[in-house]
Amino acid sequence: MGKTTLFRKILQEITGLDQPQIETFAVPKEAVYFHYKQETMQIASYCEEMPGLSNKMRLNDKLKQYGVPILHELSASQEYWVAIDEIGYLETGCQEYCDALIQLMEEKRLFAVIRKQEIPFLESIKAREDVCFIDLDDIYGQIGCVIMASGESKRFGRNKLLEPFGDQTVLEKTLQATELPFAKRTVVTRQEAVVELCKKCGVESRLHQEPNRNDTVRIGLTSLEKVEETIKGCIFSPGDQPLLSKETMEVLVLMIGKQPERIHRLCYQEKVGTPVYFPRKYFEQLKHLPIGKGGKYIIQQNLEDVILVPAKNQWELYDMDTPEDFRILLEKQKELC
């Protein structure tokens, strides 16, 4: 679907608004119009003589004359959300309108469609620390995902990943939560039974018999070798966090998209945990971790590079090492449902 159709479908859910307060729309080879409340005004006219193959609309003074006061009105209003469809290249031709948009963003929560074009003002909006920007052509970016399933379950007494958890196994819960359009997703395990379960679920797996955590990390990254040069980074997710939700994973991936060169780690209030995303710049270090060490070794050395992303609840971060952990998480699942 087009961006405006998608925008309208999720507008009510996010903002509670039935329609955006401001709309701009173009009539090809004719004009661009600005709509607010019951009034529609022409803010640009088609001009064939303008250079280039596109953007042949010439801005008039109506955007400054009418649009700027409207933005100021919305900034001073009681509205909690302001929705605009869209902010494009024409608006950047009016400095007063751009300034009023920034003021609006300081006063209100703004939900807007932004034209995908490398224009300094539009790029500056996307780069703001308080902006979540989603590229509709590349919503999840190019990210790999390695599911760590190589534990021996010694304290649990049997293979905890295959333990029934509601209507699925523990590992199937993880596979469901990580079922996103990753560039590649791989389960790394020492267990033949896990490999068989992955086949049943249509998920790639890598079987190994190496003894240490650093081996699992290295093998996981090696499994991404066909896409390693094109991906921005990789998420490492334990296979034994059955209350991890797909919604939280989606939020994590969307936040990664804003700063893909930083480490991202899931958290809940003061508790930090996993999954963890490492950008590609750390791949070589991850492949050569000290014996027995995992990604936490790199995190501790690069705390200034870590961004914490909040989970919906604390139980999403909990893994299960013992039968008692399993019992607690199973009870929490019933409460959350």
Domain termination residue (choose one: 98, 126, 154) = 126
Q: What is the pLDDT of residue 55?
A: 75
pLDDT grade, residue 69 (50/70/90)? very high
Q: What is the pLDDT of residue 98?
A: 96
Count CB neighbours of 72 within 10 A: 14
Residues 196, 117 share a domain: no
Residues 163, 115 share a domain: no
Q: DSSP label at 290?
A: P
Average pLDDT for the chain: 92
Range of the domain at 44: 3-126
Residues 173, 104 share a domain: no
Give the whole-number percent of the chain exceeding pLDDT 70.
99
**Mean pLDDT value across residues 126-151:** 86
Residues 224, 301 share a domain: yes
Is the pLDDT confidence value at 53 over 70?
A: no
Structure tokens at 184: 């590649």
Residues 180, 240 share a domain: yes
Residues 185, 102 share a domain: no
Contact 157, 186 (CB under 8 A): no
pLDDT grade, residue 193 (50/70/90)? very high
Residues 299, 262 share a domain: yes
Residues 98, 40 share a domain: yes
Q: Is residue 148 part of a domain?
A: yes
Q: Is residue 138 part of a domain?
A: no
How many domains, the chain? 2
Q: What is the pLDDT of residue 230?
A: 86
Sheet containing 39-46, strands listed edge to edge, beginning at the edge strand earlier in sequence: 57-59, 39-46, 31-36, 22-27, 81-87, 109-114
Contact 241, 160 (CB under 8 A): no
Residues 148, 112 share a domain: no
| DSSP string over 36-83 | ETTEEEEEEEE-TTSSSSS--EEE-SHIIIIIHHHHHHHHTSS-SEEE
Q: Is residue 50 part of a domain?
A: yes
CA distances from 268 to 9, 84, 220, 274, 298 (A): 30, 32, 26, 11, 21
C-alpha R_g of the chain = 25
Q: Is residue 79 part of a domain?
A: yes
Domain termination residue (choose one: 126, 151, 175) = 126
Please classify residue 329 by burial: count the beta carbons closer than 10 Å to its beta carbon, then call 0-12 exposed, 13-18 middle and 19+ buried.
buried
Q: How far apart are CA 26 and CA 7, in angstroms?
A: 17
Dihedral pair phi/psi, residue 238, rounded to 5°: -65, 150
Domain termination residue (choose one: 82, 101, 126) = 126
Alpha carbons within 13 angstroms on the beta-carbon side of residue 156 total 17
Task: Look up the CATH number of the domain holding residue 12.
Answer: 3.40.50.300
Q: Amino acid identity, residue 145? A: C
pLDDT grade, residue 297 (50/70/90)? very high
Residues 159, 79 share a domain: no
Residues 155, 54 share a domain: no
Count CB neighbours of 127 within 10 A: 11
Is the pLDDT confidence value at 108 over 90?
A: yes
Task: Look up the CATH number of the domain holding residue 247.
Answer: 3.90.550.10
Q: Is residue 264 part of a domain?
A: yes
Q: Is residue 45 part of a domain?
A: yes
pTM score of the predicted model: 0.76
Region of poorest pLDDT, from 40-54, 208-222, 307-321: 40-54
Q: Is residue 169 part of a domain?
A: yes
Q: How far apart are CA 245 and CA 248, in angstroms?
A: 5
Q: Which long-range contacts (CB under 8 A, 24 or more apart) does 52-60 make?
A: 55/89, 57/26, 57/31, 57/32, 57/90, 59/90, 59/93, 59/94
3-state class (DSSP) for residue 31? strand
Q: Is residue 321 part of a domain?
A: yes
Count CB neighbours of 335 within 10 A: 8
Is the pLDDT confidence value at 8 over 80?
A: yes
Residues 162, 56 share a domain: no
